[in-house]
Structure 1
Amino acid sequence: MSVFLPLLDEENSDLTRALARVGPIVVSPSQHPRPLQCYITIEDSSSIQLDDVVTWLNEGVEKVIVPLTWAKELIAAGIPPERLTLLLDVGSVSAVSDTVRNGVSGVLLKTPAIDLDLISSVSKFFSNSSIHVLSGTTSPPTRSTIRELLSIGAEIILPTSQLTLAPTSATRINIADAFLAPIVSDRPDGLFPTIVSTETGHSLGLVYSSAESVKESIISGKGVYQSRKHGLWRKGETSGATQDVLSIRLDCDSDSIEFRVLQHGAGFCHLNRQSCFGEISGLPALESTLRSRLLSAPEGSYTRRLFNDSELLRSKIMEEADELCRAEEKRDVAFEAADLLYFALAKCIQAGVGIAEIEQSLDAKAKRVTRRPGNAKPQWSSTQSASKKNDAVPTRQTSQSTPSDARIRMRMADLASVAPEERALLLKRPVLKSDEMILKVKPIVDNVRARGDAALIELTAKFDKVQLKSTVIFPPFAPESMQIDPTVKSAIDQAYANIRKFHEAQNSEGTLVVETMPGVVCSRFARPIGRVGLYVPGGTAILPSTALMLGIPAQVAGCKEVVLATPPRADGTISPEVMYVAHRVGASAILKAGGAQAVAAMAYGTETVPKVDKIFGPGNQWVTAAKMLVQNDTDALVSIDMPAGPSEVLVIADYTANPAFVAADLLSQAEHGVDSQVVLVAVGITPEKLAKIEEEVDVQAHKLSRVDIVRESIGKSIIVKTSTVEEAVVFSNDYAPEHLILHLENAKDVVAHIDNAGSIFVGPFTPESCGDYASGTNHTLPTNGYARQFSGVNTLSFQKHITSQEITSDGLKTLGPVVATLADCEGLEAHANAVRIRLQASQ
């Protein structure tokens, strides 16, 4: 709330700085530099042009105060009413038309003296405008006059020649006395409740002020308050946590005050934190963290890398901006926007810019009265020209506005010329923000855990836009729910037979028996995991193949309960192809849910969803995070198959490779999603043949229905040139791809040298598609480099192995002393005693 409006008619820098703390200042066009918040009053318009006024408003001048003739011209030019105040003398009020009255938001009324009745009638005439009164008297108004004006909706304009930092006199009024004129206190001690907040409006704490403390704050520009016990409290006088006062405002009914300050030191609170209301969060917390990391982040940390590597920071901002543009679901938009804000704020902090400066810039932009067309720059509205430099790491392409016939191509790097650090970047996948995602899915998991089916039904309605009455289908499954094309049925049956045959061969049915020494027999035997959950995604493609790949090994292993979870279709049903597979693999229940809520339901169980012991299957980042969360919860007692990331393929090709085959293999993986990882390792391939592969990629991609997805994934994929097969194999083993395809002379011989891969496809007639669907191997494979330590899903994944041992009396006589000696060595007397008591009994 503004109490009075200062008019700068006398130069006094200390006075001007103090006035800026309590509101805007009225200046003339010639006064420079202008205060940050100011109105410009135009009385002599002979040297002023319309363009000048527009420029001032665009530069951030709050309002222009203009006479009637100028007001008509500016209103006709489209200047917003909130930026215009009309300059009138009392005799000109009757000349104001309705157009002018409705085209301004304020009136500056010049009067010989303060006539409350006259001012009240003008206020009623301009009922939608603020009224400012400039009196011709040379003496300042009293505090009671200021209060009376405010009571009829008007505020006084006080020339700086009538204001002072010194005590109020007959010719000048102290700034604080004028500012505090309307304030009232309902406290016995007469103090005013005062909210102290940051420059961005985040609360630091509640204190109290007195007229004396406010006066000192206005004059000194430092945070000064009134302690109820100790008198004046100059913040930071002993702790060093001082404050620079940016603004002081009254609330709407003039009984409390807000101080906006720049806080120094540990913080406002006596507990050495920024706010008395607890730890800060959100953007202020991120800003504080980044400022701290800028000064003290250890070498090698990711934040230090961001601050030291401007190109990395630039690339991440572009990457996250692109991901935000592509996000559609509400939660995905929020997730990607948070990522973009993180990297953008890192850029700002690196440049010494904080949230306050960003908000000031936003406010300044909002004040502009003219606007550019707002069209995107050419590089963002059309295909970006190919980079003259072959970057070691591909950047995302913004193809939402890319012409549909634009060339689709990969980036390229040559291992012979890249530096070691660049080679390391070639091996990197997109950063999986596991911690952030787990925090996002935890409320969903907790909701399902606590409320069961009710939560599942609500979350399915929210995320899948399907209103269900029940969440689970139990066998026998209705025949009409499995009606599929006979050709598709035949294909599924053949795939089922091949996959089952291969997985049956993996079954551990026999018992391993070894006599480690006479009388000591050890054995190991397999038992199926009793209850398993199979997650079958239902996002951009229907995936009955995933139901086969998970359901068949579970069936072969002998799991007693098989719960298959998959998101429902728009009508609440499950695709008949998936239903048919569920029937073939003997699923004991089908959960009509997806995402983190499906994982939670299987991990903890609900009224209708059986609890499982292990969860299998791929999914998006929400599914992956939920699986990681529940496997670490001892209350869930559930394990998972493996970590997951975007699907990926690495193709090694030499001079024998068919360009069309290679391109087809790359594209078959690229169509999975925009984050699919696609790498071609070219072994001594001539530039001409490499160009032919690139041409095939482009031609084949444009024939695909999922060309927009392919354009994204191929646009950030890479071709790595190597000189020898050995060099290519070393790179592949370091990359550890989910799918590895060998288009090589003597490809079969190379398999012996592959240490890290989810599944290998050998030779020109072994497309990765066959492994995905029907050759017999499993397509649920480790991604994101986890092929270094994980196997793909197999029959053994659905079993656990139990060991047993049986020792005879004679056997214990030989083994017992060894065990007792080792137990004594470790200080475990009871262990040793369990052996010795038996040895004594057998003597």
Structure 2
Amino acid sequence: MAPPFLALLDSEPAEDGVLHALSRVTSLVVKSNQAVPNHLSRYILVDDASVDRDQVIAALDDGAEKAIVPLTLAKKLVGIVPASRLFLLLDTANVSAVPDLLRHAVCGVLLKMLGVDIDLIQSISTFVGSTIYVLPTGNPSTSLIAKLAAIGASLVIPVQQLTTDATSQTQIHIGDAFLAPLISDRSDGLFPTVITSHPEGGKALGLVYSSRESVKESIVSGKGVYQSRKHGMWRKGETSGATQDVIQIRMDCDSDSLEFRVVQHGAGFCHLNRPSCFGDVDGLSALERTLKARLADAPEGSYTSRLFKDNMLLRAKIMEEADELCRAESKEEIVFEASDLIYFTLTRCVAAGAGMGDIEQALNRKARKITRRPGNAKPQWAPGGENSLQATPQKPIVADSPVVDADEPICMRTVDLATTAQEEKKRLLKRPVLRSDEMIAKVKPIVDDVRERGDAALLYLTAKFDKVQLEAPVLLPPFYPPPSSAAGKYQLDHAVKDAIDIAYANVRKFHAAQIDGKALVVETTPGVTCSRFARPIARVGLYVPGGTAILPSTALMLGVPAQVAGCEQIVIATPPRPDGSISPEVLYVAHLVGAHAVLRAGGAQAVSALAYGTQTCPKVDKIFGPGNQWVTAAKMLVQNDTEALVSIDMPAGPSEVLVIADDGSHPAFVAADLLSQAEHGVDSQVVLVGVALSDAKLAAMEAEVDKQARALSRVDIVRESISRSLIIKTQNPEEALQFSNEYAPEHLILHLRDASTLVDRVKNAGSVFVGPYTPESCGDYASGTNHTLPTNGYARQFSGVNTQSFQKHITSQEITKEGLEKLGPVVATLADCEGLQAHANAVRIRLGI
């Protein structure tokens, strides 16, 4: 919870004793140009218009916990600085001017007030919905601190009004200010106090009691001082020497107990000369204690003594263990090698006088940084460098986690079905595990935020994830041609426009032929006529990814069947470009298919907006389109929420292609088809099933894969996806098609003699490409078929997107009096059998029986 007060450090210098006492119970609020020791917890206050965004980020990078900034500057920091690090600087006059985007993009507000109005602060807290610190004029009091704490607010007190001496009319003792909200529920007025170890990850050392006097002495002296229920004031270590340095004192959420975080000296906290009253410490804390003890008195010639004295030996062991950890494959191997590396690393730290506490502080400082380095390896450690894993012989790498070298051939792993065990065959059919439950848990807060806050959440999340500041999330028609003022931003290449026009015509022609426009009418019994007729789904949402590639083709494949089916409302959702615009290709497709709105958002937030609707984004009835794991998880989440009342097209996974090729196939054609899917992403699934391929033909295909891949701009993606891919050797087309049907690929390409005669044997596939001159890319773009297809083996149960995906079917029946006379007794008998008397009565009352 927030401390009961913050200390404002004005330009006047403060005494070291006061600063140290404050550091144990709260944080300092300092101006952006004030220098304070790094060990003091501090908030940076920006009330100078000359301070810019980069200066705030630099202060946070330098270790400041939070930044307190005015409205104008906060708008520039949203999406760059995490909400947990940002406070708004307001006065009572401009609270209502805080936009929704900022209300949920900060963790608190520092409110300047002439006087303290509790009711006003409570109302502001409801509006802002975050932690409030109050900076009033005049002298503070402990009663005011307690009143504010009772409503979840905290006071900001100038350091000059705080003291380590007794509380007076003009100054408050720091301990009195800290203890103001603390309430004891014990008859003796003491506070239960948990003692935890600072350099050992907050491990509990024991439980004691504190009084107001003991706490105040601890705050000022920095030593562990408690209240014994039998002996009065207890200054820890006064007789035993096992003293404590107090690092931090906190109260719990109910303000009735305390935690002291301390550095324990001597034998330990417990009277049994153990580190903790709950037993010895273990894990890293125990290792650190052991190493410190051995540094002090390790036997001469022992291994530990050698490590401490021989820096070159210790250096070699650290490098050796790091190398072995990088080569480890199984979980057990990784844990074993990591524990060795940690041992030698901590030995190095202890030898230099550092410990776990120092490491934790360094990690905390790094975690506070806003700006990040690219994170690339230094040249000597990068793949191919002199110290890289490829520079020395290494263990075999399993197919699921390859280490790829830019100089190594780009090739697939080969498996012969004839010599493969049954269990291994089953493994070959498996895709990467999609931990949908974990992903759904991750996307749920995003989905919930958009459902609850609508456009405000969309704008905030777009700024956070896409680093794009938008005024409004939705674009409305006309989408083409662009207004003259934005012609440059939305310039559409004429050749691309012509290609889209041809693709649109082909896709529309094929999907128009699929429409179910004729009612099915069947007379099941004389006088009993049953029918089924199709109606378009009224409102549809089409998700068009915009991650590693611009995909106007996906907008076509989803928009055309929606248009042909007659959907009343078509909403396209796609992530914006860095300047907030949408690619002109996608906007042109939106124009062609008659889209009613374009939502400038991606990821789970776009799916949520489509499912629930926002102030500007219409709610839809069904969501279509591929996407990454976040999109897929969000689609699965919303389709199971009865509040959303939305369905989805199908579960989606990484792109897939399975090519069946025989000895008569063209190696270059086969390689090109494999690579056309491999370039989608590193998790693309690429399989070549060879039918009685000669060694020479297989080698020629592999050489083509390597050659063509190196000429691609996305070669790094291809290199990794191909390294995870498979060549399956089979004896004949029957065996190859059996494997394909069990695999159920998204795309199936038949590079076989008389390929067209084998299509009838295909049982499971998203779409089939027949013969050497039918590349999968034609289906992706312009042949007419749809490229939104089932992946991850779902071709066993799902069809690809088609016109009827955008239609629903309604049944009807009409029965004459004569028909009911024939059918009614049957219905009444069955209703009686099920004990549903009213059902039977609905028939009998008409027939008079």
Place the TM-score, normalised by the shorter chain, in its bin: 0.5 to 0.7
Tell me, yes or no, if the aligned pair for 1:390 and 1:413 is still in contact at 8 Å.
Answer: no
- The answer to whether structure 1 residue 696 and structure 2 residue 691 are counterparts is no
Tell me, yes or no, if the aligned pair for 2:380 and 2:388 is still in contact at 8 Å.
Answer: no
Q: Tell me, in whole angstroms, the C-alpha distance in 2 between the residues paired with 1:749 and 1:594.
A: 43
1:757 to 762, 765, 777: 765
Q: Tell me, in whole angstroms, the C-alpha distance in 1 between the residues paired with 2:469 and 2:208.
A: 54
**1:248 Cα offset (Å):** 9.6
Residue deviations 1:20-44 (CA, integer Å, cap 9, x gap): xxxxxxxxxxxxxxxxxxxxxxxxx
Distance verdict in 2 for CA 1:684–1:201, change over 3 Å:
same
Q: Tell me, in whole angstroms, the C-alpha distance in 2 between the residues paired with 1:449 and 1:758.
A: 33
Tell me, yes or no, if the aligned pair for 1:396 and 1:712 is still in contact at 8 Å.
Answer: no
- The answer to whether structure 1 residue 730 and structure 2 residue 713 are counterparts is no
Q: Please give the secondary structure, in 2, of the residue aligned with 1:416.
A: helix
Distance verdict in 2 for CA 1:228–1:550, change over 3 Å:
farther
- The answer to whether structure 1 residue 251 and structure 2 residue 246 are counterparts is yes
Distance verdict in 2 for CA 1:500–1:190, change over 3 Å:
closer
Q: Tell me, in whole angstroms, the C-alpha distance in 1 between the residues paired with 2:349 and 2:477.
A: 61
**1:835 Cα offset (Å):** 1.4
Match of 1:715?
723
Match of 1:398?
403
- The answer to whether structure 1 residue 826 and structure 2 residue 834 are counterparts is yes
TM-score normalised by the chain length of structure 1 = 0.60
Match of 2:674?
666
**1:364 Cα offset (Å):** 3.2
**1:363 Cα offset (Å):** 3.4
2:542 to 534, 537, 543: 534
**1:203 Cα offset (Å):** 5.9
1:838 to 814, 830, 846: 846
Q: Please give the secondary structure, in 1, of the residue aligned with 2:654.
A: coil
Q: Which amino acid counterpart does residue 748 of structure 2 have in structure 1?
A: L
Q: Please give the secondary structure, in 1, of the residue aligned with 2:438.
A: helix
Q: Which amino acid counterpart does residue 395 of structure 1 have in structure 2?
A: D
Match of 1:458?
460
Q: Aligned residue pairs: how many?
A: 550
**1:197 Cα offset (Å):** 7.7
Match of 1:644?
652
Distance verdict in 2 for CA 1:395–1:821, change over 3 Å:
same
- The answer to whether structure 1 residue 193 and structure 2 residue 198 are counterparts is no
Q: Which amino acid counterpart does residue 410 of structure 2 have in structure 1?
A: I
Q: Which amino acid counterpart does residue 613 of structure 1 have in structure 2?
A: D
Q: Please give the secondary structure, in 1, of the residue aligned with 2:419.
A: coil
Q: Which amino acid counterpart does residue 678 of structure 1 have in structure 2?
A: V
Match of 1:275?
none
Residue deviations 1:750-792 (CA, integer Å, cap 9, x gap): 1111111000000111000000000100000000111010100
Distance verdict in 2 for CA 1:721–1:199, change over 3 Å:
farther
Q: Tell me, in whole angstroms, the C-alpha distance in 1 between the residues paired with 2:638 and 2:676.
A: 33
Tell me, yes or no, if the aligned pair for 2:480 and 2:591 is still in contact at 8 Å.
Answer: no
1:769 to 774, 777, 795: 777
Matches within 5 A, 1:380-779: 384=390, 394-399=399-404, 402-403=405-406, 405-480=407-482, 483-779=491-787
Tell me, yes or no, if the aligned pair for 2:491 and 2:584 is still in contact at 8 Å.
Answer: yes
**1:462 Cα offset (Å):** 1.4
Tell me, yes or no, if the aligned pair for 2:502 and 2:782 is still in contact at 8 Å.
Answer: yes
Residue deviations 1:452-484 (CA, integer Å, cap 9, x gap): 111111111111111111111111225136642
**1:367 Cα offset (Å):** 3.2
Q: Which amino acid counterpart does residue 427 of structure 1 have in structure 2?
A: L
Tell me, yes or no, if the aligned pair for 1:249 and 1:257 is still in contact at 8 Å.
Answer: no
Q: Tell me, in whole angstroms, the C-alpha distance in 2 between the residues paired with 1:636 and 1:714.
A: 40
Matches within 5 A, 1:51-450: 193-195=193-195, 201=201, 207-208=207-208, 251-252=246-247, 363-369=346-352, 376=381, 384=390, 394-399=399-404, 402-403=405-406, 405-450=407-452
Q: Which amino acid counterpart does residue 447 of structure 1 have in structure 2?
A: D
Q: Tell me, in whole angstroms, the C-alpha distance in 2 between the residues paired with 1:537 and 1:690.
A: 35
Residue deviations 1:96-127 (CA, integer Å, cap 9, x gap): xxxxxxxxxxxxxxxxxxxxxxxxxxxxxxxx
Q: Please give the secondary structure, in 2, of the residue aligned with 1:251.
A: strand
**1:424 Cα offset (Å):** 1.2
Q: Tell me, in whole angstroms, the C-alpha distance in 2 between the residues paired with 1:576 and 1:257.
A: 58
**1:204 Cα offset (Å):** 6.4
Q: Tell me, in whole angstroms, the C-alpha distance in 2 between the residues paired with 1:206 and 1:536.
A: 57
Q: Please give the secondary structure, in 2, of the residue aligned with 1:652.
A: strand
Q: Tell me, in whole angstroms, the C-alpha distance in 1 between the residues paired with 2:384 and 2:802.
A: 48
Distance verdict in 2 for CA 1:256–1:559, change over 3 Å:
closer
**1:374 Cα offset (Å):** 12
Q: Tell me, in whole angstroms, the C-alpha distance in 2 between the residues paired with 1:432 and 1:573.
A: 32
Match of 2:789?
781
Distance verdict in 2 for CA 1:523–1:226, change over 3 Å:
farther
Residue deviations 1:265-299 (CA, integer Å, cap 9, x gap): xxx999xxxxxxxxxxxx99xxxxxxxxxxxxxxx
State which structure, 1 or 2, has the greater radius of gyration over its C-alpha atoms.
Answer: 1
**1:436 Cα offset (Å):** 1.1
Q: Tell me, in whole angstroms, the C-alpha distance in 2 between the residues paired with 1:615 and 1:655.
A: 43
**1:414 Cα offset (Å):** 0.7
TM-score normalised by the chain length of structure 2 = 0.59
Q: Please give the secondary structure, in 1, of the residue aligned with 2:418.
A: coil
Q: Tell me, in whole angstroms, the C-alpha distance in 2 between the residues paired with 1:193 and 1:370.
A: 31
**1:369 Cα offset (Å):** 4.6
Distance verdict in 2 for CA 1:736–1:388, change over 3 Å:
farther
**1:406 Cα offset (Å):** 3.4
Tell me, yes or no, if the aligned pair for 2:198 and 2:261 is still in contact at 8 Å.
Answer: no
**1:201 Cα offset (Å):** 3.2
Tell me, yes or no, if the aligned pair for 1:652 and 1:681 is still in contact at 8 Å.
Answer: yes
Distance verdict in 2 for CA 1:190–1:604, change over 3 Å:
closer
Q: Please give the secondary structure, in 2, of the residue aligned with 1:805.
A: strand
Q: Tell me, in whole angstroms, the C-alpha distance in 1 between the residues paired with 2:331 and 2:727.
A: 33
Tell me, yes or no, if the aligned pair for 1:197 and 1:261 is still in contact at 8 Å.
Answer: no
Residue deviations 1:367-404 (CA, integer Å, cap 9, x gap): 35599x9964988855849999999x7233334xx33x
Distance verdict in 2 for CA 1:701–1:378, change over 3 Å:
closer
Aligned-residue RMSD, C-alpha: 4.1
Q: Tell me, in whole angstroms, the C-alpha distance in 2 between the residues paired with 1:728 and 1:321.
A: 38
Q: Tell me, in whole angstroms, the C-alpha distance in 2 between the residues paired with 1:204 and 1:822.
A: 70
1:803 to 789, 792, 811: 811
Distance verdict in 2 for CA 1:249–1:191, change over 3 Å:
farther
Q: Tell me, in whole angstroms, the C-alpha distance in 2 between the residues paired with 1:189 and 1:593.
A: 56
Q: Tell me, in whole angstroms, the C-alpha distance in 1 between the residues paired with 2:391 and 2:754.
A: 39
Q: Tell me, in whole angstroms, the C-alpha distance in 2 between the residues paired with 1:352 and 1:577.
A: 51
**1:636 Cα offset (Å):** 0.6
Residue deviations 1:673-698 (CA, integer Å, cap 9, x gap): 11111000001000111000000111
Residue deviations 1:582-611 (CA, integer Å, cap 9, x gap): 000000001111111111111111110000
Distance verdict in 2 for CA 1:406–1:829, change over 3 Å:
same
Distance verdict in 2 for CA 1:580–1:688, change over 3 Å:
same
Q: Tell me, in whole angstroms, the C-alpha distance in 2 between the residues paired with 1:501 and 1:374.
A: 54
Aligned-pair identity in percent equals 64
